[in-house]
Structure 1
Amino acid sequence: MKVLIFGGAGFVGLNVADALLARGHDVTLYDRAELPPSARRSLADYGMRLKAVQGDITDAVAIDAVIAEGCDAIVLGAAVTAGEELERASTARVLEINVMAQIPVLLSAIRHGVRRVVNLSSASAYGAAGGRVDVLDEETPCDPVSFYAISKFTSERSVARHAELFGGDFLSVRLSALFGPWEKPSSVRDTPSLQYQILAAFARGAPALMPEPGMRDWIYAPDAAEAVALLIEAERPRHRLYNISRGELWPALQWGEAFAALNPGLQCRLAASGEKTGIKLHGPYRAPLSVSRMADEFGWRARFGCAESAAEMSVWLTQHKEWI
């Protein structure tokens, strides 16, 4: 298949691209940023099967041109992933990129007969509902609060409504707490995972001092990317919305300890009373996402738990020392 990824040079986009290329597909990355040199080197063996196009997600003419070249599937991954600071500074931008910029893409996909569109949404769409239940499944009523959460929930509804109106084969996925290869804060992403912040402390030669254990339903980005690839390949998905998660809570502190155990000289621990920590939590507690829908329909489960992902990330960083 030929797959076009909007936001393809970003954290999630690169993981999805890697998964798709490994499965034999051709991938075009569309992003306003250049493909990072380390990613270009890492993906070089795929040769002409990988193409990178620089362009803005708000440029409807450029978007239509790249879709018109022909593709079987589109991944909507361009987004402003905003915490409170970015939300205050760029409220309009969050809504413009996460919702309005998708509309020309969807209309172009319909016009050019694209077989499938997968919208990368977020567990944040559940909003305040995440604190009221034990498990969040796709039927749980959402209560988005932040502009980021509102934008993600709205993007799902917009994608579904376009499919209803025009007959497109469009669906959305809600990604839980992501971490892993290619993650990096940027002007459109000010919510780095606790795992990234732990690694950044290690890179500075400092201990990673945690303000709390950091219980979340963490999922290693390559696992999430495999699930997205599976949904792109699926002949006839039964639903328009899927949760993608490890499906259980575990502490980032435990992950940092596991990573440190593999790399002598590193230390990850809870900050003692009075100790300062630069590691910042993003968002309140949220119940874990149910992954029953993905498991029942496709037999998919995340492969990497805490220890396995720490070991994989340790190997990845030996090959990409300059990343953090």
Structure 2
Amino acid sequence: MKIIIFGGTGFIGLNLAEVLLARDHDVTLYDCAPLPPAAQRSLPNYRERLKVVQGDITDAEGIEGLIAGGYDAIVLGAAITAGEELERASTARVLEINVMAQIPILLAAIRHRVRRVVNLSSASAYGASGTRFDVLDEETPCDPVSFYAVSKFTSERSVARHAELFGGDFLSVRLSAVFGPWERPGAVRDTPSLQFQILAAFARGEPAILPDAGVKDWTYAPDAAEAVAKLIEAERPRHRIYNISSGTAWSALQWGEAFAALHRGLQCRLAAPGEKTEIKLHGGDRAPMSVARMADEFGWRARLGCAESAAAMSAWWMQHKETI
């Protein structure tokens, strides 16, 4: 398949690109940022099937010309992942990029007969419902609160309505607490995972001191990418929205301890009373997401839990410390 990933040189985009290239697809990464040097070194074997296009997600004319070149699938992954600081500073921009910029892409996909569009949404779409239910499945009512959450939920409804109006084969996925390779904060992402912050402390030669254990249904990025790849390749998905999560809650503290145990001299612990830490929590507690729909329909479940993902990330970290 020929697949274009908008937001392709970002965190999720690069993980998805690696998975799709390994599955013999041709991949175009569209992003305002260039391919990071470390990724250029990691992907040399795929040069003939990997294309990088730098451009603005709001350049409707340029994107129209690109899609007209013929694609089988589009992944809508360009987004401003905003915490409260970025939300205050760029409220209109969050909605512009996360919702409005998708509309010309969806219409171009319809005009040029793109077979499948997958919109990368977020568990944040559940919003306040995350504290009212024990488990969140795709039928759980959403009650988004932050502008980021509102934008992701709105993007889901926009994608679904375009499909209803024009007959497009469009779907959305809600990603839960993703961490792993290629994660990096930036101007459009100010909510790094606890795992990223733990590794950043280790890279500085400091202990990773957490303000809280950080219990979530953490999901290793390559596992999430495998799930998205299955949805891209699926002949006829039965639903228009899917949860992607490890399905099991465990703590970032536990993960950091498992990672530290693999490297002499590293330490991950909770802050003592009154002790300051640079590591920040992003987002409140919520129930874990059910992955029964992905498991029942596609046989997918996350392969790497806490200890397994710590070991996998350790191997990756040893090769890419300079990216943290």
TM-score of the superposition, structure 2-length normalised?
1.00
Matched, 1:7 2:7: yes
Cα distance per residue 1:51-80 (max 9 Å; x no partner): 000000000011101111111000000000
SS at structure 2 position matched to 1:243: strand
Cα distance per residue 1:253-278 (max 9 Å; x no partner): 00000000001100000111121111
Distance, in Å, in 2 between the alignment partners of 1:284 and 1:220 is: 20
* Preserved contact between residue 26 and residue 49 of structure 2 (Cα < 8 Å): yes
SS at structure 2 position matched to 1:18: helix
Shift, 1:103, TM fit: 0.1
SS at structure 1 position matched to 2:117: strand
SS at structure 2 position matched to 1:117: strand
Letter in 1 for 2:302: A
Letter in 1 for 2:22: A
Aligned to 2:139: 139
Shift, 1:44, TM fit: 1.0
Q: Map of 1:1-324 to 2, 5 A cutoff?
A: 1-324=1-324
* Preserved contact between residue 16 and residue 229 of structure 2 (Cα < 8 Å): yes
Distance, in Å, in 2 between the alignment partners of 1:287 and 1:234 is: 28
Letter in 2 for 1:233: E
Shift, 1:48, TM fit: 1.1
Letter in 2 for 1:24: D
Q: Which runs of 4+ in 1 moved over 3 A?
A: none
Distance, in Å, in 1 between the alignment partners of 2:283 and 2:195 is: 15
Distance, in Å, in 2 between the alignment partners of 1:169 and 1:124 is: 24
Aligned CA-pair RMSD: 0.5
Distance, in Å, in 2 between the alignment partners of 1:85 and 1:29 is: 28
Shift, 1:321, TM fit: 2.3
Distance, in Å, in 2 between the alignment partners of 1:283 and 1:77 is: 20
- 5+ residue gaps, structure 2: none
Letter in 2 for 1:272: A
SS at structure 2 position matched to 1:190: coil
Shift, 1:34, TM fit: 0.5
Distance, in Å, in 2 between the alignment partners of 1:262 and 1:102 is: 43
* Preserved contact between residue 203 and residue 321 of structure 2 (Cα < 8 Å): no
Shift, 1:40, TM fit: 1.1
Letter in 2 for 1:315: A
* Preserved contact between residue 78 and residue 98 of structure 2 (Cα < 8 Å): yes
- 5+ residue gaps, structure 1: none
Distance, in Å, in 1 between the alignment partners of 2:217 and 2:281 is: 14
Distance, in Å, in 1 between the alignment partners of 2:304 and 2:85 is: 32
Distance, in Å, in 2 between the alignment partners of 1:43 and 1:86 is: 32
* Preserved contact between residue 3 and residue 74 of structure 2 (Cα < 8 Å): yes
Shift, 1:47, TM fit: 1.6
Distance, in Å, in 1 between the alignment partners of 2:56 and 2:264 is: 43
